[in-house]
Chains A and B, each alone.
Chain A
Amino acid sequence: MTYGSPAHAREAKRPKRSRPARASYEPVDVAIVCESTYPYLTGGLSAVVHQIAEANPNRRIGIIHIAWDSDSPMVEKYDVPPQVAWVMPVYQSMREHRRDFLDLRPRDARLGRKATAAVVERLFDALDAHLAGDDAGLWSLYDDGINPLTRSFRLWPVISSAAFMTRARGYFARAGLSFTAMFWELREFFSLAFAVTDLVLPKATVYHAHTTGAAALLAATAARQHGTHFLLTEHNLYARDTINHLLERSMDTPVTRDEWRTLDHYRTSAMVPEDARVTPRQRAWMAWWAQTGLVAYRSADLITYLYPDAIEEAVGLGGAPDKSVVLANGVTPSDFDDARAVFDARRVQTRGAGEDRIWRLAYAARVVPIKGLLDLLTALAQLVSEGVTNWELDVMGPDEEMPEYAALCRSACHELGLDGYVKFFGSVNLRERFGNYDALVLPSHNEGQPIVVLEAMTIGLPTIGTYVGGMKQLVEDPIVVEDAHAAPTGVVDSCGLLVHAHDVDGMAQAIKRLMADEFLFDRLSENARARVDHYFHIDTAMALYRAVYRRFGSVPEAEFLETLPVPLPLSGQPLPAVRTPSAEPASAPDGPTRRAA
């Protein structure tokens, strides 16, 4: 992970450009669908999409880029490889669809009064069936009233009809919205649905959506339109994160598919937490995100998650473990050769130094509450009070997002007696800096599978972190190494020390333990690199993505003989069982293992 000048994005070898609009888009093997990311914005998700694009030189790839409107960034931030045949923009804002959506009147449906009433009834029946677990009615309505290739009428003008609003008033009577508010909310939802479903999409063998929401809805309809496949990758749990963000709730709060019906009172995680009540409008949006997520889960042919626990948590949102697999992120070790050299030189110098050594701790994340920096500062103050002072912490990451929180962290340093021990670097190029540290400390309250930890592991930094998201899999779960005949040849153990989120004392003890035990440090450092080499390697991750694409019929000749580095239960083999989360995270060595070639 980097800030400012991203490490994920290669240095520009040619001027970046924006692509001209096209009249048509030729068929491709894989259409990658993502929202407000690649190739126009940088970040973890964009980095993964770029890796996928680069790792498939024998496939024709298209990028369907969903943006808010035509003013959104459109200058490429990556050197998009030549196999990417096109980047197709899709805009969500209503102002981009004035003629085709905003200006529609009931008469534009060209249906008589009775036919309009019948469509209205069909729509609400489809909603009822969807809530009961059956989306066939919704898809039938898509075929007949939305899909430009098959429709016999247009659904959108119907939602402006008196028949629809009358029916909606009764149907949503318990939502608590005024008639006017309900009208505009429904119009907002339908406009979002219109933007990603009412268009002819380029043909692709596989539509690969990254996250639920608009991207998944578009990919699902595209696969329906062309009778091909829909692959969903959930980098994080989009519905959970979006709903928690909407409610200003702690991002690690579990969200269930029915919470929009059941939640009434809750507590915010603002800097000054408050008791709050779900407003009707919030409830409507919770329902929108939860239910569109359900449509995506049900229609996906395969869902990939970054770590096993995400499959389990997605079940609460309506996820489908029977068609879900884990496909972890990967990193390219050679990108970090310089940082490794610096790290190795530092290790040689500090070996045997005992207390004659200043431990350099790296915090590399945004300075926002969810990343837990205040917890870490409190833990470090505890170390100082215990006389442990041979360490310094560099806080690296942007702090503009919540300036009041950044200011609070700075004043906390002073109040906790940490002046001089903690530096705020702001945005830096981590790829250049990481080799100068002894450990990464990530006290987050919520994570997916953070790229920054993978990068730290690649260099050899042990990670001190929290049991959130995919951290346990990334840092702690043993990895079984196998030879070419699938015979186990060894196990790679933990590369860090994890504590529960918010556990300040545990964090302090973990840091102290690492600093006091050189043997432990060496072991964790060696394991960190080995875990990347054997499992979280870019070649492994990309081979798995290619295997998934092959399963859906995208089989370039050049890939026939490719050996899969990690067995993936695809092509008719049973999909992996969902494991039971271990009751006690500290007992991880006895827990489940990952396989690696």
Chain B
Amino acid sequence: MSGVSIYFGVEHPGEPVLARIDRGDVVLEPFHPLVRDGGFADVFPDCRRYVYVNPTTVDPWLYDRMTDPPPITGRDERWDLPRLDLDRPEALDWAIEQAVAAFAADGGRSTGLFVDDLDRLLPERPELAIEYLARVGEATPVEPRWFLNRGFALWPLVEALDAVLLEDLAPDVVGFRSVDESRWMDEVLAAVRGVRARGVRVHALSYADQPRPGGTAADRRVQTELAGLIDTVTTDADRPLNVWRTSR
């Protein structure tokens, strides 16, 4: 598998994108025409398609038009997304319904679901993350394969794990300033080693466009090992969400 593309718009990809991702993972939102209307295999004949879902947010465009919106805690600062109030059961129920509907959007022909923001439930609310994945899996008529963004502690628990995304963890930019950060990175590396041994595809995504300057010998050791474990890297500085881009 040669690449990954995570796209949040409704446009069809242009030739450069198609050329760079002839065999890879493509993440689309459920309302993308290639999901909603079909034709994905004509555009990406050798790719796997995953539908984007998020157990912690509501699409802002959708939220503003809902007459009976799910409970939220407010909007986050970085992305301006309405965040679900997961202390209330109806919020999780709503997120699960959305995921099941998303997987059914193309008649169940998608390979699986890309689950974003799992880290927001960890480490404080792992039971919610597990419940979310389990209930979505039970509610879909066939098993979705999973493409998880981070949520490292959950990876060993997810049997049908196809791919993972290391958001903000591209090898060039990792570096650690504290013992706690180093220990955390050791845990991440162990998780990545574990999924690699299972044949799971590992993609990295960075929002920084320059390699981190300097760094210690320990940083370089981590960078080298991480680079050896990763299939693709996408560098996505100043990222507009609705622009097609792929891993390099």
Contact = CB atoms under 8 A, between A and B. Distances in A.
B159 A428 contact: yes
Nearest to B22: A389
Interface string B107-120: 11101000000000
B41 A355 contact: yes
6 contacts: A349-B108, A353-B109, A356-B42, A413-B199, A420-B1, A436-B143
Size range of the chain B interface in the assembly: 20 to 34
Contacts of A358: 48, 111
Contacts of A426: 198
Interface residues of A, number: 28
A422 B38 contact: no
A357 B48 CA distance: 9
Interface of B: 1, 23, 38, 40-42, 45-46, 48, 107-109, 111, 141-143, 159-163, 197-201, 231
Given A389-B23, A423-B162, A356 B109 contact: yes
B193 to A, nearest CB: 12
Contacts of A353: 109
Nearest to A352: B107
A421 B143 contact: no
Contact of A420 (B38, B107, B199): B199
Query: Quick one: which of B38, B40, B142, B159 has the most chain A CB within 10 A?
Result: B142
Interface in A327-386: 342, 345-346, 349-350, 353-358
Query: Quick one: which of B38, B141, B163, B199 has the most chain A CB within 10 A?
Result: B199
A502 interface: no
A425 B159 contact: yes
A357 B49 CA distance: 10
A242 to B, nearest CB: 33
Interface secondary structure of B, over-half rule:
loop
A281 to B, nearest CB: 39
A398 B72 CA distance: 45
Interface string A421-434: 11111101000010
Contacts of B163: 420
Query: Quick one: which of B41, B42, B163, B231 has the most chain A CB within 10 A?
Result: B41
Contacts of A413: 199
A100 interface: no
Contacts of B108: 346, 349
A342 B141 contact: yes
A387 B46 CA distance: 8
Nearest to A388: B46
B46 A389 contact: yes
Contacts of B142: 342, 345-346, 349, 436
A410 interface: yes
The 4 closest A-B pairs by CB, nearest first: A420-B1, A356-B41, A345-B141, A349-B108
A419 interface: yes
Given A350-B109, A419-B231, A342 B46 contact: no
Given A355-B45, A356-B40, A424 B197 contact: yes
A349 B162 contact: no
A419 B1 contact: yes
B136 to A, nearest CB: 15
Contacts of B48: 358
Contacts of B42: 356
Given A349-B107, A389-B46, A428-B159, A419 B201 contact: yes
Given A342-B142, A422-B199, A424-B198, A349 B41 contact: no
